Every structure is written in structure tokens, then in C-alpha cells.
Amino acid sequence: MPTSLQTTASTCCYCGVGCGVLIEHDGKTILGVQGDPKHPANFGKLCSKGSTLHLTGDLDARALYPELRLGKGLARSRATWDSALDHAAKVFAETIREHGPDSVAFYISGQLLTEDYYSFNKLARALVGTNNIDSNSRLCMSSAVVGYKRSLGADAPPCSYEDIEQSDCLLIVGSNMAYAHPILFRRLEAAKAARPEMKVIVVDPRRTDTCDLADLHLAILPGTDVALFHGILHILMWEDWIDRAYIEAHTEGFDALKQLVRDYSPTVVADLCGISQADLLRCAELIGKSPSFLSLWCMGLNQSTAGSAKNSALINLHLATGQIGKVGAGPFSLTGQPNAMGGRETGSLSNLLPGHRDAGNAEHRAEVARYWGVDALPETPGLTAIELFDAVAEGKIKALWIACTNPAQSLPDQSKVHAALAACPFVVVQEAFFTTETCHYADLLLPAASWGEKEGSVTNSERRVSHVRRAVQPPFDARPDWAITCDFARRLEHLLKPGLPSLFDFASAQALFEEYKHLTSNRDLDLSGLSYAILDNQGPQQWPFPAGAQHGTARLYEDGRFPTASGRAQFLAEPYCSAKEKRDGRFPLLLNTGRLRDQWHGMSRTGTAARLFGHAEEAVLSLHPDELRRRRLQDGQLVSLRSRRGELIVPVQADENVRAGQAYLPMHWGNRFLKGLGTNVLTQPAFDPLSKQPELKLSGVEVEKAELP
Ligand code: SF4
């Protein structure tokens, strides 16, 4: 080991488990990574992605200098930061003056740190005067936000990782934890090995590696979750496995739900969900008879046109059984991205404001405006991800700022998004990797610092805030995201509001955190007692952590009081509605998309590490062997995969884990197919009416032998 080797404690930049890492470096270059034994998320363990982080810093893939294109069709050329940001400020100011503040938009990311989010939010709402700021977290967990807020009164996952280990019965729905949250899954595996009486139920149309741990796997038909949850409640009520005292003391709306679920008999639900009545009854029995019951869910529940209803129907089960606010119990949504939680907290979805406030609430707007020292915040509702790119396509958004995300790969109906970006008069992309599909459309590319190169904070799935520390300087001209945003904002202020004191005089990420945290004071997520010093001295902490607190809060709602108007949790009585896109003669298969164990999102980072292709070299379509036989296709053959929106040519494999009538394709590939762009060429942009989260996991498709181009 070289004598100059130093170690900096930070966090992994991939999933919402939020593992602590020790970055090994020589002050200039990151040389290795170890799990942080002191971090309470992972206690020293790392998964295949986290343990190879140091292999992903390839400068060949990094954006290193600002690059500016002075006209569509021209090549970008290298620019200084001054000229790049002056140009951007001029274009944004002219656009705002000519077309109004809602003619510009910001599309940001769950990969950003809390301080980055906060600076973007202040820029959009306080300076520009628009609510057109949305995040790729819209694709990830906005249905969970709606679910928590409607049922429990606040967007707050009430559990801790320890509850997963202490639970007697876990219901894992729409989550392949073994791949997407590997370290948490390992904690669950170890807990089940130590307590074999713990029961695990997995609900997933596909048999995934997570099912290896399951006592019961319910391979429901895609999109039928609400029917399943109502069917379980029907049985719980019938068998009197509900907690009437809890319902009476702490909830509202049970009578309406009781009426609704009468229609969801085991016969009806087993038929709707495509499972056996015996399995349905067994599932209800495991939940109803277990001393504690905890549910975990992720994209499989959230990415749906019924995502909000699915979340509420699942939370209903916890309220009806009193399984919330106690050890080993509660509805626990897993966040996909490392700081999707920070985005929710800082109000980085168009309908939110910092401190779990709502942009549609006049009182909330006035509170934030007062704190920021501006007259008012904008009232017009902001556009959500799909709406935002539709508005770009329609020419309503004339200047678009994209940070740390790759919508040209990740949004559904990908071809339409590419056309929108190509037509947008001015696209700024703030990115660490110039290789993303979105960078291709950047009129201005701004190089951002990446993992190990910047400071700030993140919140993981269990509400735990960690201090993210910088190990090395960003390469060449790359800068931290918050610094880019604030520098741009100061230049825009000069053009739009000359002579006024700047709202963006922040010298460090810490200064942003200190301003932001007071906006959470006396809110459900109160972070006002936290500081970088406390995080350094006491380690990562779970909110709420109000001023004067000695430690964070492991579990919410232990006293049975909820942050609703009445103090009671709300049962939601919403019927099951079938998915809008159905199988038909032309598109007889339902396509599900998902994650591989060793890749992350659009692979801008993981795609640079050869080792991470050892698990899966390429995207392969999985079909049940009967479907291959029906089409006279061979395992390994190239096939044409078509939906109503586009076509890909992709290899196919026989896979008994996928039910007949369905298909499965990983979502990571954005442009590497023989024909077509990426997986999301096929997916549909329909979204949930409340959460606006799109239906990325259910699209009608057909497969046939490929006519090679
Ligand atoms: Fe990183 Fe998630 Fe793996 Fe932990 S489980 S090392 S946070 S990718």
C-alpha cells in the first residue's frame, strides 16, 4: 500500500440504500473503495456496483470543459466558464423577457446532492419565477409520495432498516431487492437465516432472484396489485385478522373501504390476478397472523398509471391491522436513487416546495417567499416530467436546463423525447459524463463534478442523512453542481434583477445546507438540529432531527398520531382499474422492464467498468419457452420487438421465470441495439393522474423473427 494513501468517508452514489464508503486516494486520484464499517446502512459491506466505484472514473467518458454550440447543426466548441455561463444567462433572460418565466424549465435528478437540489429550486422558483422544475425522481417514486401524503398526511417512510430485520412477515411488492437494493437484501437474508420463522412474501409478475428468499411468491398479472391488496383485506376482515381498536382510535374512512372490498372475494381476486385462491389465502393468513408485518416496494408498484391507488391500497393493509409505528412493522417504500429522498425534502418536484411544502398551497408559498426574501413564489402549476417534454415538443419550452440525468434514455416513448430535444431552441446539459444520449442535444454542455469530487449531503430510504465528502478535486474544468447553479443564478440575477442583493452568495455546500435546514423547522421532516459537524461527530442521522435533538428518529407514528388535519390516518377506498394498454391481437405480450444486478440507470458510469458486464453483456429479451415455440423462435436468436411506439432488434432467451403472455427486457440500454434507440422506445408515456408517474413497466408488444437491417 503506498504511504501517501488517504481515506475519505463518503457514500455510494448508486441506489437508495445509501451505503457508506471509504474512498482510498492519494489526494489526486481515487484508487480504491471499501465499505465503511461504521455506516449504519451497510456496516462495511458493498455490492458489486459499490465495490467497483473506483473503476468507473474513466476520464475518456467525462465531460471536462464547457462546450458551446453557437447554432443548431454546428459542432460544440470549448468555452470558458465565464463565456459559457454568460451566454446561458443571456439566452435565459431574453427568453424569460420575451415569452415569460414558464417558457423555461429545469429537469434535474435524484443523483444530485441536497445542496444542489436546493440551489436549483431557489433558482427556478425565487429568481426565474416558474414551477417548471421537475426531477427524474418523477419516474421513480412520485406515486409513493402521493401514497404517503394521502394516507398518512406526510411524505415520510415511517420505518428503519432495522425493522426489516426485526419483522415477522415481509411483503415485498414490485421490487427485485436482490438486484436493485443488494445490501439491504443481504441484511434481510442474514435476518431470515437467523430467524427462519420470519416469513417473506414476494409479489412480482416475474420470478426474480428476490424470490429465492420467499416463502410465497405471487406472480400476479401485471397491473393487478390494487385488486390483490383489496382481496387480502377482504380475507383479513372475513377472518377477523384486523385490529379494530387501532382502526377506531387512529384512522378514518374504514367504512367506505369495507363496502368496497366486499366485492373482492378470493374467487374474483384470484381470477383477476391470475393466481390460485390457495396462495391468496396463504398470503392473507401470513399477514394476518404475524405479530409484525412490514411491506417493501419500489418501481413495480410506483411506475404505473394506478401507482397512487396501489400505494394507498397497500398502506390500507397496515392501517387495518395496526401494523405501523411499531418494531418490525410499517409501509416502507424503497427509493431507487441515492438522494431521491433529498429531492422530496427540498421540494424538487414541480408540485412541491422545500420542507415538504406544496407549491399549490398559498400559505406554503408565502412562507418560503418570506424566508427567501422575495415578494412571491409562482402560482401557476409546474410541468411534470412527461408534461415538460411534451411542452418542449410543442415549442412551449424554449430554454431547457437538464442536470445529472439522461431523459433521452430514461423517459418513455424515447423517439418522441429525442425529437423534442432536437427541436428545443436552447438545451443546457450539466453532466459529469459526456457520453449520455442527452448530451448529444446539448447546445451548452457544462462539466459537473462526480462521485468523490464534491461535498454535500444525501438522505437514504430510511430518512438517514449522510455527509457526502470530497476525496479529490474534480478533473480539469468540472465543478460541483451547486457551484455551477449559483454562478449561473448570479449572472441571471444581474440581467433580470440588477442592483438587488444576490440570493445566491453561497461560498460552500455547507452554506446552502445551513440556509435550507431552517426551512424544515417545525415541519414533519425537521432537520434544523442537524449540521455537517453533527453528521461528522455522531454519524448519519435519521430525520426528524429538530434543534436541540441528541439523536435522530428511528420510527414514526409510534403514538398513533398522524400529520393529517384530524390527526388520524386515512383509509382510501379506490377500486381496481385495469391498465389502459392491454394485450390484443397485434400486441399480444405485456412487456415489463427492469434492472440488472450490475448496471445502474443509463450506464453512463457502470458502462465504463468492464467488470460490470460479466453478469450480463447485453440486453436480452426474456420470453417464456411456450412463447418462443409459438413463434418458432430459437433461444439466442435476434428478434424484432415492437410496441405501438417503436421497434428494437434484440436477442431473445427462453426464460421460465417470465409467464406466458409476458416479456421482460432490462431498461439500461439507451442506444446500443441493432435497430432502434433503447428500451424506452417501446414504453408508453401514460401516467398516473395524481403522481404523474409514467407506466414504464407495462406495454403491449409483439415479437417476431428479425428482418436484419
Ligand atoms: Fe451502493 Fe446500493 Fe450497492 Fe449500497 S447497495 S453499495 S448504495 S449500489
Q: Model confidence at 58, in pLDDT bands (50, 70, 90)?
A: confident
Cα(458) to centroid of ligand 1, in Å?
14
pLDDT value at position 604? 87
**CA 164 – CA 194 distance, rounded (Å):** 13
pLDDT tens digit string along 292-304?
A: 999 999 999 999 9
- What confidence category does residue 560 fall into, taking pLDDT thresholds of 50, 70 and 90? very high
pLDDT of residue 708: 73
Residue 191, H or E segment? helix 182-194
Q: Which of 183, 600, 603, 668 should be mutated for ligand 1, with most atoms under 8 A from CB?
A: 183
Give pLDDT tens digits for 628-658.
Answer: 999 999 999 999 999 999 999 999 999 999 9
Predicted pLDDT at 671: 77
The neighbour count for residue 704, using CB atoms within 10 Å, is: 12
Which of 10, 11, 14, 334 gets mutated to test ligand 1 (max ligand atoms within 8 A of its CB)? 14
Report pLDDT for 670: 79
Ramachandran angles phi, psi of 62, nearest 5°? -90, 145
For the question of whether the overall pTM of this predicted structure is more than 0.80, the answer is: yes
Nearest CA to ligand 1 atom 3: 47
Dump pLDDT digits (tens) for 471-500. 999 999 999 999 999 999 999 999 999 999
In which residue are the cell numbers 445551513 written?
A: 514
Lowest mean pLDDT among 317-321, 612-616, 622-626: 612-616
Average pLDDT over residues 228-255: 98
Name which of 359-363, 393-397, 419-423, 614-618 the model is least confident about: 614-618
Q: Is the pLDDT of residue 3 over 80?
A: no
Ligand 1 centroid to residue 34 C-alpha, Å? 12
Residue nearest to atom 4 of ligand 1 (CA): 19
pLDDT at residue 4, as a whole number:
85
Average pLDDT rounded to a whole number, residues 588-598: 96
Tell me the CA–centroid distance for residue 13 and ligand 1, in Å: 8
Q: What is the pLDDT of residue 674?
A: 67
Say if CB 24 and CB 32 are below 8 A apart: yes
Over residues 694-699, mean pLDDT:
96
Q: What is the mean pLDDT of residues 602-623?
A: 91
* 24-28 contacts at long range (C-beta below 8 A, 24 or more positions apart): 24/54, 25/452, 25/471, 25/472, 26/2, 27/472, 28/472, 28/473
Q: Say which residue the cell 367504512 belongs to.
A: 255
Would the CB of 553 count as within 6 Å of ligand 1?
no
**Ligand 1 in reach of 50 Cβ (< 6 A):** yes
Q: What is the mean pLDDT of the chain?
A: 96
Q: How far is the CA of 47 from the centre of ligand 1 (A)?
A: 6
- The CA 279 to ligand 1 mean position distance, Å, reads 33
Residue of minimum CA distance from atom 6 in ligand 1:
50
Closest CA to 480 of 452, 514, 459, 504: 452
Q: 86 C-alpha to center of ligand 1: Å?
A: 38
Walk me through the domains of the chain, giving residue ranges and CATH numbers: 6-60 (3.30.200.210), 67-138+341-506 (3.40.50.740), 142-334 (3.40.228.10), 589-705 (2.40.40.20)
Number of Cβ atoms within 10 Å of the Cβ of 274: 15
The model's pLDDT over 128-139, given as tens digits with 9 standing for 90+, comes to: 999 999 999 999
pLDDT tens digits, one per residue of 169-218: 999 999 999 999 999 999 999 999 999 999 999 999 999 999 999 999 99
Q: What b/e string do you get for 48-68 counting C-beta neighbours within 10 Å, with b at 16 or more?
A: bbbbbbbbbbeeebbbbbbbb
Q: Edge-to-edge strands of the sheet including 293-297?
A: 216-218, 199-203, 169-173, 293-297, 330-333
Report how many helices (DSSP H) and strands (DSSP E) the chain contains, helices first.
Answer: 22, 28
580 pLDDT band, cuts 50/70/90, is confident
Residue bearing the CA closest to ligand 1, atom 2: 15
pLDDT score of 709 more than 70: no
